[in-house]
Amino acid sequence: MVRRGLLGWISRVVILLVLLCCAISVLYMLACTPKGDQEQLGLPRANGPTGKDGYQAVLQEREEQHRNYVNSLKRQIAQLKDELQARSEQLRKGQDQASDATGLRSGWDPAPKAQADLLAFLRSQVDKAEVHTGVKLATEYAAVPFDSFTLQKVYQLETGLTRHPEEKPVRKDKRDELVEAVESALESLNSPVESSPHQRPYTAADFIEGIYRTERDKGTLYELTFKGDHKHEFQRLVLFRPFGPIMKVKKEKLNMASTLINVIVPLARRVDKFRHFMQNFREMCIQQDGRVHLTVVYFGKEEMNEVKGILENTSKAANFRNFTFIQLNGEFSRGKGLDVGARFWKGSNVLLFFCDVDIYFTSEFLNTCRLNTQPGKKVFYPVLFSQYNPGIIYGHQDAVPPLEQQLVIKKETGFWRDFGFGMTCQYRSDFINIGGFDLDIKGWGGEDVHLYRKYLHSNLIVVRTPVRGLFHLWHEKRCMDELTPEQYKMCMQSKAMNEASHGQLGMLVFRHEIEAHLRKQKQKAGSKKT
């Protein structure tokens, strides 16, 4: 019975494919067939007032329109074939599951119903979105703003710290998305079905501008404006890319009980910072997590004994033996320190966490590090929260609160450091296979971006996301006199960015005006009382 039902289903799919091919052939013949006599009369005669050149010009224009239409049909045919293949595969899996449970019911074909349900769902997405009518919103912050774009630039509101208000779309998916929207609009404008016989062909040069916005649960709305046939006339197309229903891709059980993290810290002097780092390490890694190894790579011999003493005291007090101390000579190089620390490990493949002494992390972050990495598949580049100067943030208070109370994620207390790539989790095997750090880079900076770009150019998945349990602690930034004027200016700009928010810096700049205003208000209040 099951085999008979399966053969019947296969025959129906074959018949459906044959009918689809026939329909496509008929559409192709209709599209390529010349128009009737009445339309042919509209063409200029060879010996008419426009002559042979006019006839050829009109003929070429018609041929171009039909060529565009045929290309559009070919794309639609390819999309239909892909959709039919995907639907057939889904139908086959569904029927296999149903046959295992209850057996196949003869004479029932769910494919048309599934396609109709999908089409109805996509149409409902358009109706739910703010396309035809407005939606009542609770506050002014609930509105979803549009971004605008031309063929060369995108004008965006959400810029973060690395993107610009006006820029070329760098990400390939964003660039392809906007190009596809413009091409779809041009296909619609040049379609013989929707345009008049004498309409000129539209090209990308006619595109003026577009606006678009995305409602995450519904889809993306595009409104594209093109030049019209006359002055002060325009063509506007409204397109919508509906989002489909959520689909389960896979379900997996992850056991991280035996996943060890090797925290590698390069260091030169900075004993006080290292002491604070070890306090955090002892609480989060030793007392709470318990699956961490620490590797300290120290440059030079100045203050080395103090650093080794902190490690030994922590080892005795917490009964902690999972640490390695490596001493290197020469000038400090963060990239070299991390590279040496990673290659020094002799055990099995281990998860590496490249860290600095001015970083604070929680035990929850360690699990986030484990969950977002996979050897040969994924590396993790978290975006940490960078703390502003506590002396400025809490300057109006009697005293600066303890560190644990400072580490709150708010606009007034810090910012997402989305231009930094130094803190990263990756397996040692991936680090070795990618080639490690560029050891020619000296001092701080540059080596992290170079490694990050290596992973972007590989087949590994790079997970980049803000993380709530990873903080960059504020420390004073010094701009040395040896810098050139341009370098010194950039250093001071970076220092200002790390000191306080835009509003807080503004309060410092205008503090004299604010104090004068407060004095005047106090004098007015005193005169009213007298």
**Are 251 and 290 part of one and the same domain?**
no
Same domain, 172 and 297: no
CA distances from 97 to 5, 103, 104, 107, 337 (A): 14, 9, 10, 17, 55
Which residue segment(s) compose the domain that 334 sits in?
Answer: 261-506
Residue pointed to by tokens 């002014």: 140
Long-range contacts of 340-343 (CB under 8 A, 24+ apart): 340/297, 341/262, 341/264, 341/265, 341/266, 341/295, 341/297, 342/262, 342/264, 342/428, 342/431, 342/432, 342/436, 343/432, 343/436
Residue pair 354/456 in contact (Cβ under 8 Å)? The answer is no
For residue 496, the domain's CATH number is 3.90.550.10
CA 425 to centroid of chain Cα atoms: 18
User: Angle, nearest 10°, between helix axes 502-509 and 511-529?
Assistant: 70
Please report whether residue 293 resides in a domain.
yes
The string over 357-368, giving b where at least 16 C-beta atoms fall within 10 Å of a residue's C-beta and e elsewhere, is: bbbbbbeebbbb
Which residue carries 């005047």 as its tokens? 520
Q: Please give the tally of structural domains in the chain.
A: 2
Yes or no: say if 299 and 331 are a contact pair by the CB < 8 Å rule.
Answer: yes
How many Å apart are CA 213 and CA 223, to the nearest integer?
9
208 lies in the same domain as 298: no
Same domain, 284 and 377: yes
How far from chain centre, in Å, is Cα 292?
30
DSSP assignment string, 140-173: GGGS---EEE-SS-EE-S--TTTS-SEE---SHH
Residues 255 and 366: beta-carbon distance below 8 Å: no
Beta carbons within 8 Å of 238's beta carbon, 6+ residues apart: 131, 221, 222, 223, 224
Structural tokens at position 54: 């006019």
Q: Is residue 530 part of a domain?
A: no
Q: Are 324 and 344 in contact (CB under 8 A)?
A: yes
Residue 474 is assigned to a structural domain of this protein: yes
Rg (Cα) of the chain, in Å, rounded?
33
Where is 306: in which H helix or E strand? helix 304-318
In a domain, 516, yes or no: no
Indicate whether 114 belongs to any domain: no
Find out whether 213 and 147 touch, Cβ atoms under 8 Å: yes
423 and 449 in contact (C-beta within 8 Å)?
A: no
List the chain pLDDT tens, one digit each, 530 residues.
445 555 566 667 667 776 777 777 666 666 555 444 433 334 444 344 445 566 666 667 667 666 766 777 677 777 766 766 766 666 666 555 544 444 444 455 667 877 887 788 888 888 878 777 777 777 766 778 888 889 888 888 777 666 777 888 878 888 999 999 999 999 999 988 777 777 889 999 999 999 999 988 889 999 999 998 888 889 999 999 998 887 787 888 899 999 999 999 999 999 999 999 999 999 999 999 999 999 999 999 999 999 999 999 999 999 999 999 999 999 888 999 999 999 999 989 999 999 999 999 999 999 999 999 999 999 999 999 999 988 888 877 778 888 888 888 888 889 888 888 999 999 999 999 999 998 876 545 578 889 999 999 999 999 999 999 999 998 887 787 777 777 677 677 777 778 887 778 778 788 888 888 888 888 888 777 76
Backbone torsions φ then ψ of 300, nearest 5 degrees:
80, -175
Count of alpha carbons within 13 angstroms of residue 82, beta-carbon side: 6
Q: Are 268 and 160 members of one domain?
A: no
Question: Are 423 and 399 within one domain?
Answer: yes
Residues 249 and 373 in one domain: no
Amino acid letter, 414? G
- β partners of residue 405: none
* Residue 519 lies inside a defined structural domain of this protein: no
Same domain, 223 and 311: no
372 shares its domain with 429: yes
Structure tokens at 408: 């709150």
Q: What is the largest CA-CA distance in the chain?
A: 106
385 in Cβ contact with 466 (< 8 Å): yes
Strands 461-472 and 154-155: unpaired
Alpha-carbon span 352 to 349, nearest angstrom: 9
Residue 17 lies in a domain: no
How is the chain split among helix, strand and coil, in percent rounded to 5? 45, 20, 35
Q: Is residue 224 located within the same domain as residue 331?
A: no
Give Cβ neighbours of residue 257 (< 8 Å, ≥ 6 apart).
291
Q: β-strand 207-215 against 414-416: which pairing, if any?
A: unpaired
279 lies in the same domain as 150: no
pLDDT tens across 369-406, in order?
999 999 999 999 999 999 998 888 887 777 888 888 88
Beta strands 234-242 and 261-267: pairing type? unpaired
C-beta separation of 449 from 425 below 8 A = no
Whether residues 408 and 454 fall in one domain: yes
- Vertex 159 angle, CA 153 and 162, to 5°: 95
d(C-alpha 56, C-alpha 64), whole Å: 12
Task: Tell me whether residue 1 is in a domain.
Answer: no
Among 177, 274, 171, which residue's Cα sits nearest to residue 222? 177
